[in-house]
Amino acid sequence: MNSPTSPPDTPAPRFYDGTEYCKDQSIGFLMKRGLSVLVRNLEHQMQALDLTGTQWHPLLHVHQGCDTVATCAREMQTDAGAMTRMLDRLEAKGLLVRERSCSDRRVVNLALTPRGTEVAAQIPHVLAAVLNDHLRGFSPKEFAQMITLLQRFIDNGEALAEANQAAPGPDLVVQERTLDTNSDKTDS
């Protein structure tokens, strides 16, 4: 779902001022804090499925069609080594199996076991329940607006990241503090 964004040559609004910056009013800080609380609540609820936060996510991706380690790593925006460690735990629990491709030995295929399919099918219900609890008091209009605004925020960030890869960013000026060496001297 793409939303309209401002043209790249439109100046960014100035909602923040570095001289009066307050983290409690920072969208980034609030999003990180919101995500942290959401993850904590999800992990608590996933315990009923005997899953940790790092286990339910790849299990859900495999259930929804990620059939190789590389595809799953890309979907989760992580590296193949980290993905392999996550999958090791799921395989040890008997929830999935890995098998080298016969046509390309570099490819490792993933498949859920019957037990893995049963557990993975429950994950979306846990996610929906926790998300709905977090959205308590929101109207349908506010929910739709929140999705639209977050998507626009992401689109703007992705456009900025793409532009930053094309050209070097501005030089940051770091002011060094000089130490008064006389005040630190002690008599020996």
Question: Do 101 and 107 meet the contact criterion of CB atoms below 8 Å apart?
Answer: yes
pLDDT the model gives residue 2: 47
pLDDT at 152 over 90: yes
Above pLDDT 90, what percent of the chain?
A: 50
Handedness of CA 72, 74, 78, 79 (dihedral sign): positive
pLDDT for 15: 83
Q: Considering the entire predicted model, what is its pTM?
A: 0.74
Position 108 scores a pLDDT of: 83
pLDDT tens string 37-83: 999 999 999 999 999 988 999 999 999 998 988 888 898 888 888 88
C-alpha to C-alpha distance for 1 and 11, rounded to whole angstroms: 24
Q: What is the mean pLDDT of residues 164-173?
A: 66
- Computed on alpha carbons and rounded to an integer, the radius of gyration of the chain in Å comes to 23
**Residues 116/59, Cβ–Cβ less than 8 Å:** yes
